Amino acid sequence: MKKIIELIKSEITEAFIKSGYDEKYGMVTLSNRPDLCQYQCNGALAAAKEYKKAPIMIANEVVELLKTNAMFQDITAIMPGFINIILSKEFLAEYLSDEIKAEKFGLEAPEKVKTIVIDYGGPNVAKPLHVGHLRSAIIGESIKRIGKYVGHNMIGDVHLGDWGLQMGLIITELKKRQPELVYFDESFEGEYPVEAPFTISELEEIYPAANAYSKEHEDYKEEAKMATFYLQNGRRGYVALWNHILNVSVNDLKKNYEKLNVSFELWKKESDAQPYVADMVEYLKSNGFAKLSEGALVVDVSEESDTKEIPPCILLKSDGATLYSTTDLATIIERMKLFKPDAITYVVDKRQELHFNQVFRTAKKTKIVDDNVKLTFLGFGTMNGKDGKPFKTRDGGVLRLETLIQNVSDAVYEKIMSNREMEEAEAKEIANIVGLSALKYGDLSNQAPKDYVFDIDRFTSFEGDTGPYILYTIVRIKSILNKYQETISNETVNIEGVIPSSSESETSLMLELAKFNDIILNAFDENAPHRICQYIYDVANAFNKFYHENKIIAEEDKVKQTSWINLITLAKDILNTCIDILGFEAPERM
């Protein structure tokens, strides 16, 4: 079924055409003055210039044709030329009744199913996830889920960092600590052990120790560079160690991402792109795209329209070493070969914008991707502490992500136990569910590019624009529906949809629920989970106002009561769908 705003626009546009004006002036938007009307059309103001007429005259002509239209309760031309629209209660009830019956609340399948790769996550192996990994993970997961719900083929790729100097540092440190390990015996020709010679905890300690030591000992750093070189050139023992590092790290990463309710279709690595590098470099050189500059191989990506200098994209350093730009371009080649995507979206720290601008320009200029493949950089801002600086532990260290998740769950648990009597086990289970909503909603309700302050007290509040408030609303609706089921008798009237509203609060709730398809499609088009957060907050507010003004269970008019039950069931289903898209769920009770 069509979006409600499209149905309104269709009627308005037809009236403009019948009045002798171009169809482009029939655009309809949500009213910016909801106290005056529900929707509005400002097309007469723009048409006035083309047709050299007073805008109010044009608006009056259009309105005159629509006054008897059953879609509208009231449609009025207002100076200097606005058209204010209030929908009829019958039309709104019919639209919601159709929404209730339809799959996905009437969301139409896309004309063309697109394949879209979402690059999010991006942790380095051998390191624990920390707060800096939070935004990429949950924004990327949400965008992927929005696309899947809309009907596209979404492929999430974690894109692990596993091929740089960090690998050489770990191998060198292991050799320093355990030189007797068989991996360092170049004459060894047998099978290497199945078990790794380290645990995840030991591995997470080894890298920072090696990194710190290398900064003070140049010979050690050179040894690590050579270890990296040997690894990348296939030395058996080093490759075996690298596989151990990967296996131990990935198993741990999967556990931590699972706590965030984040998953990936692909666990691809930086190293997976390496087989494509040599051919790519040869292609770029032989076709005249790449040239030497001060010993480095670069691609000029500047354009005449640039208002500031865009440096060339470096493919190989003067010593022949590759960079992230090399790997990212080779990864695009791999993705095009494996999936032939219509689009690739990168959910990355916004400080990487220049890098990806260079990579995208190179990919387009050199025809690594066709012009019709959309490359998108979705840069996100920083999660800051109350001091306005990037979030840190009390002693100034980087906070582990699993610690942050636990801190939020603990804060919710304390609030639950201070307000109600509940078994400890149940309270902790609910706290984990509600805590995740607090964390995710607190992040996703902000526009991705903006920095925001992480305020655990505000995020875990059960009131206001928070995840727990949304969940509390869903649980409240579930409770009403359960009570209703207990009171059902032979007097119950069966109606499939809803009847025209009988109060302002009911109309407001119906209007919010009618926006669902429009909100989801806009969120998809704009890569904007925050739009869904704002929407469910509006739905929750509209429901709670309706709930406080109407005694649903005590209502004696059974037709009205059944309509209300259908209405709030739709509200529950839409809220549940939205929070699933955002990556969290509601408990049965709170």
218 shares its domain with 187: yes
In this predicted structure, what is the pLDDT of residue 493? Answer: 73
pLDDT for 506 beyond 90: yes
Q: C-alpha angle 520/525/527, rounded to 5°?
A: 85
Domain boundary among 31, 57, 87: 87
Could you tell me if residue 540 is inside a domain?
Answer: yes
What burial class does residue 316 get, using C-beta atoms within 10 Å of its C-beta: 0-12 exposed, 13-18 middle, 19+ buried? buried
pLDDT for 565 beyond 90: yes
CA distance 388 to 383: 9
Could you tell me if residue 462 is inside a domain?
Answer: no
DSSP 379: E
Q: Which residues pair with 87 in a beta bridge?
A: 72
Could you tell me if residue 50 is inside a domain?
Answer: yes
Number of structural domains in the chain: 4
pLDDT digits (tens, 9 = 90+) for 192-221: 999 999 999 899 899 999 999 999 999 999
The one-letter code for the residue type at 28 is V
56 shares its domain with 28: yes
Q: For residue 192, how far is the Cα from the chain centroid?
A: 42
In this predicted structure, what is the pLDDT of residue 152? Answer: 98
CA distance 386 to 341: 41
What is the average pLDDT across 568-588? 97
pLDDT digits (tens, 9 = 90+) for 216-257: 999 999 999 999 999 988 999 999 999 999 999 999 999 999
Q: What is the CATH number of the domain that holds 47?
A: 3.30.1360.70
User: Per-residue confidence at 458, pLDDT binned at 50, 70, 90?
Assistant: very high
Could you tell me if residue 214 is inside a domain?
Answer: yes
Which of 88, 84, 91 lies closest to 39, judged by CA?
Answer: 84
User: Per-residue confidence at 491, pLDDT binned at 50, 70, 90?
Assistant: low
pLDDT for 492 beyond 70: no
Could you tell me if residue 520 is inside a domain?
Answer: yes
193 shares its domain with 235: yes
Q: C-alpha angle 227/231/234, rounded to 5°?
A: 140
pLDDT for 428 beyond 80: yes
Query: In this predicted model, which residue has the larger pLDDT, 126 or 575?
Result: 575
Query: In this predicted model, which residue has the larger pLDDT, 389 or 94?
Result: 94
Q: Which residues pair with 113 in a beta bridge?
A: none
pLDDT digits (tens, 9 = 90+) for 526-559: 999 999 999 999 999 999 999 999 999 999 999 9
pLDDT digits (tens, 9 = 90+) for 37-66: 999 999 999 999 999 999 999 999 999 999
Q: How many helices (H) and strands (E) does the chain have?
A: 20, 13
pLDDT digits (tens, 9 = 90+) for 347-390: 999 999 999 999 999 999 999 999 999 999 999 999 998 888 88
pTM over 0.85: yes
CA atoms within 13 A on the CB side of 366: 29
pLDDT for 110 beyond 70: yes
Q: What percent of the chain is modeled with pLDDT above 70?
A: 98
219 shares its domain with 282: no
Asked if 234 and 275 touch (Cβ cutoff 8 Å), the reply is no
> Of 98-102, 160-164, 254-258, which gets the smallest average pLDDT?
160-164
pLDDT for 488 beyond 90: no
User: Per-residue confidence at 490, pLDDT binned at 50, 70, 90?
Assistant: low
What is the average pLDDT across 151-176? 95
Which string of b and e fits 424-452 if b means at least 16 CB within 10 Å? eeebbebbbbbbbbbbbbbbbbbebeeeb
Could you tell me if residue 552 is inside a domain?
Answer: yes
DSSP 124: B
Q: Which residues pair with 297 in a beta bridge?
A: 292, 316
At which residue do the structure tokens 């090696």 appear?
Answer: 210
pLDDT for 343 beyond 90: yes
Could you tell me if residue 410 is inside a domain?
Answer: no
Could you tell me if residue 280 is inside a domain?
Answer: yes
For residue 178, the enclosing domain spans 165-259
pLDDT for 394 beyond 80: no
pLDDT digits (tens, 9 = 90+) for 17-28: 999 999 999 999
Phi, psi of 579 (to 5 degrees): -70, -30
CA distance 543 to 520: 19
Asked if 447 and 475 touch (Cβ cutoff 8 Å), the reply is no
Q: What is the CATH number of the domain that holds 543?
A: 1.10.730.10
How many CB atoms are located within 10 Å of the residue 226 CB?
A: 13
252 shares its domain with 338: no
